[in-house]
Amino acid sequence: MAISIIRNKINYLIIFLMNAQKRSQLIVSILLAIIISISFPYFFENQLYNNCYSELEIKDLKSSYIQYANATLLSDGFNGTYWNTDLSEFPRVVADKNGKIHVVWEDSTNGYWGTDMEIMYVSYSPETGWSNIEVISDGFNGSYWNYAQSSSPAIGVDSQNRIHVVYEDYTPGVWGNDCELMHVSYTPGLGWSNITVISDGYQGSYWNDGLSLEPDIAIDVDDNIHVVWSDNTEGAWGTDVEIMYVKYTQGVGWSNVTVISDGHNGIYWNDGFSDNPNIATDNNFVHVVWQDSTDGFWGTDREIMHIKYTPNSGWSDLSIVSEGYIGNIHNYWNNGDSRAPAIACHSGNTHIVWADDTNGIWGDDFEIMHIKHSSISGWSEITVISDGFKGKYWNDAESFNPELVVDYNDNVHVIWQDFTEGIWDSGGSDNEIMYTNYTSANGWTNISIISDGYAGIYWNTGLNLNPDLCLGQNNIYVVWQDSTRGIWGTDYEIMFTFLIIPGLMPNIALPFGFYYFILIFLVILGLVYYIKQKDV
């Protein structure tokens, strides 16, 4: 009995070994079928994805394989009613963690709030679409007390989806007749708060009697709020314009104001204009950049300055980042004006862009420049990103007002306004919003026009200015002010578009739907049957 069992086992092993090659063929064939079944939808998707761009090529300008939507009007036309008849300008955008988009801007349209300029707000959710417009700088609980100009908003969102907006306001009050910074917030379930003055009046002391302008806002991982602005209030720092900073700490409230562009270690040397600040956070680190006209060994031109706040250490000294670095050593070659900086941080890396009119092989026009700081390698060299793709310099007009974000894949996205002429141009009267991105695999892409030319139709004939962008869950959201005429009138309006983040493929249905899986199952069964028939 035992011998019979052993003999059967040996025979089974011999048969198994003799059929090993055929069994391998079967396994390989099934694996290939599975791989093809998984890959085909992505191939199918990529073909659609790439084909949609082949129609958008403009001279040597391509869409950089970035899908963008046609422009949407946000500041007028809700439910077909066009009531906004004045200037809508300086938009800012942010997206919360639920995918809701929030946009603010300054608006001169008259209404029950008065004839002064106010801050307006709209939002978008996938369930309801775009909302109607709300005035958020006046009218809390039905009281309209704000009768002077409210302008230059900045917007941020915290981890609880609370929206925070800061702006400059000329309404007089106990703080005086000067322009102050005001803050208003939206809490889900509660609505908009009343307004708080944050640039003056700490603990009841009103000392800020100059103009507080150009605010920007950032929110850290602990939901603390950081705000910077330019201010010409005089003090120990002199009579020049300085960058001021204030912080809201959860559970504590607003801090007093700090001058951060001068006075490091008690030394006041910055005697030029420090203005146009931009702020970003990386965990609990705070980074601020601005343009500065102070003269120094770098020359008499405007430069971009950078400062960093480190917990437990405080504010660093200033760095001049627009002169460039070679091996972390300053290379003083930039002798033109460096202006309008923007900053973004991600994973310990800091990216800064600005507009620069230093002459070079790119010409004598303003170009967009980029520099990066890595915690490992320090400062990079400066790169011109608005011209010179693959050695071709075609951008011969002003590139200005850049903004940037860094996405989840560490790709860098930059937009700006540009007056270079092209097939999008209407007799030299308009300009467009341009876009480029950086990926570690491909470097900087060629430039894309995203404010005009959708599906090859060039309808946008006005000025496209002051763009802003933010990072969403799968998209980059872009807003700008636009003077193109339409059924909305001849005034400036706020436009919106979105771009798909590189590396995140758009959602697309499987070919043939659910039957696709049945088809793949039948293919695998057919392979099994075919190989078994060969065994017979």
DSSP-derived secondary structure for 141-160: GG-----S-EEEEEEEE-TT
Last residue of a domain, which of 195, 216, 248?
195
Cβ within 8 Å of residue 336, ≥6 positions away? 301, 356, 357, 358, 359
pLDDT surpasses 90 at 329: no
Buried b / exposed e over 25-37, threshold 16 CB at 10 Å, is ebeebeeebeeeb
| Position 115 confidence tier, pLDDT thresholds 50, 70, 90 | very high
The upper half-sphere exposure of residue 18, i.e. CA atoms within 13 Å in the direction of its Cβ, equals 7
Where is average pLDDT lowest: 273-287, 302-316, 401-415, 449-463? 449-463
Average confidence (pLDDT) over 52-69: 40
CA dihedral over 169, 174, 177, 179, signed as positive or negative: negative
The Cα–Cα gap between 256 and 236 comes to 16
Given a cut of 90, is residue 528 above it in pLDDT?
A: no
161 and 207 housed in the same domain: no
Long-range contacts of 25-32 (CB under 8 A, 24+ apart): 25/531, 26/527, 26/528, 26/531, 29/527, 29/531, 30/524, 30/527, 30/528
Contact between 199 and 171 under an 8 Å Cβ cutoff? The reply is no
Please check the confidence at residue 504 and state whether its pLDDT lies above 50.
Answer: yes
Please report, rounded to a whole number, the percentage of residues in the chain having pLDDT higher than 70.
80
Percent of the chain with pLDDT over 90: 72
Q: How many CA atoms lie within 13 A of 298 on its CB side?
A: 22
C-alpha 129/C-alpha 299 separation (Å) is 51
Domain assignment of residue 130, yes or no: yes
Judgement on whether residues 337 and 463 belong to the same structural domain of the protein: yes
The mean of the pLDDT values for the chain is 86
More confident residue, 10 or 469: 469
Task: Verify that 230 and 177 share a domain, yes or no.
Answer: no
In a domain, 55, yes or no: no
In this structure, the answer to whether residues 383 and 261 fall within a common structural domain is: yes
Give the C-alpha separation, 264 to 257, whole Å. Answer: 15
Q: Are residues 358 and 232 in the same domain?
A: yes
Where residue 83 falls among pLDDT bands split at 50, 70, 90?
very high
Does 25 have pLDDT greater than 80?
A: no
**Residue 330: predicted pLDDT:** 67
CA 331 to chain centre: 29
Residue 54 lies in a domain: no
Mean pLDDT of 404-431: 89
Is residue 200 located within the same domain as residue 182?
no
Closest C-alpha among 213, 203, 133 to residue 168: 213
Strands 180-187 and 150-157: unpaired
Q: How far apart are CA 418 and CA 397, in angstroms?
A: 7
Does residue 305 lie in a domain region? yes
The radius of gyration of the chain from alpha carbons, rounded to an integer in Å, stands at 29
Looking at the domain assignment, is residue 51 inside a domain? Answer: no
State the pLDDT at residue 455: 87
Beta-strand pair 319-320/314-315: unpaired
Give the confidence band of 430 by pLDDT, cuts at 50, 70, 90.
confident
Chosen domain end from 195, 230, 258: 195
Q: What is the mean pLDDT of residues 338-342?
A: 98
Mean pLDDT calculated for residue range 13-24: 52
Give residue 500's pLDDT band: very low, low, confident or very high (50, 70, 90): confident
State the Cα angle at 12 between 9 and 16, rounded to 5°: 140
Shared domain for 340 and 480, answered yes or no, is: yes
Give yes or no: residues 117 and 41 share one domain: no
The sign one gets for the Cα dihedral 402, 69, 100, 506 is: negative
Q: Is there a domain that residue 20 lies in?
A: yes
- pLDDT tens per residue across span 302-322: 999 999 999 999 999 999 999
Nearest to 275 by CA among 345, 212, 219: 212
The angle at the Cα of 273, spanning 94 to 149, to the nearest 5 degrees, equals 50
Q: What is the pLDDT of residues 213-225, one digit of tens each?
A: 999 999 999 999 9
Q: Which domain holds residue 152?
A: 97-195
Tell me the torsion sign for CA atoms 294, 298, 301, 304.
Answer: negative
Say how far apart CA 169 and CA 148 lie, in whole Å. 7
Interval 111-129 mean pLDDT:
95
Structure tokens at 453: 């030319």
Do 344 and 241 lie in one domain? The reply is yes
pLDDT of residue 3: 53
Confidence at 241, pLDDT banded by 50, 70, 90? very high
Is residue 13 scored above 70 in pLDDT?
A: no
pLDDT band at 138 (very low <50, low <70, confident <90, very high): very high
Identify which of 318-332, 386-400, 498-512 has the greatest average pLDDT: 386-400
What pTM was computed for the model? 0.83
Contacting residues for 410 by C-beta, under 8 A, at least 6 apart: 346, 347, 349, 440
Question: Is 371 inside any structural domain?
Answer: yes
Residue 61 lies in a domain: no
Q: Tell me, what's the pLDDT at 518?
A: 64
Number of structural domains the chain divides into: 3
Q: In this predicted structure, what is the pLDDT of residue 215?
A: 98
Residue 264: other Cβ atoms inside 10 A: 17
Task: Give the residue from 180, 195, 210 where a domain finishes.
Answer: 195
Q: Residue 414's domain is classified under what CATH number?
A: 2.120.10
Q: Quick one: 230 and 158 in the same domain?
A: no
The pLDDT of residue 331: 72
Over range 230-249, report the average pLDDT. Answer: 97
Three-state secondary structure string covering 372-430:
EEECCCEECCCEECCCCECCECCCCCCEEEEEEEECCCCCEEEEEEECCCCCCCCCCCC
Of 398, 368, 344, residue with least CA distance to 216: 344
Q: Is the pLDDT of residue 58 over 90?
A: no
- The predicted pLDDT at position 519 comes to 62
Residue 305 and residue 177 in one domain? no
Nearest to 164 by CA among 88, 109, 92, 229: 92
Same domain, 254 and 191: no
| 508 has pLDDT over 60 | no
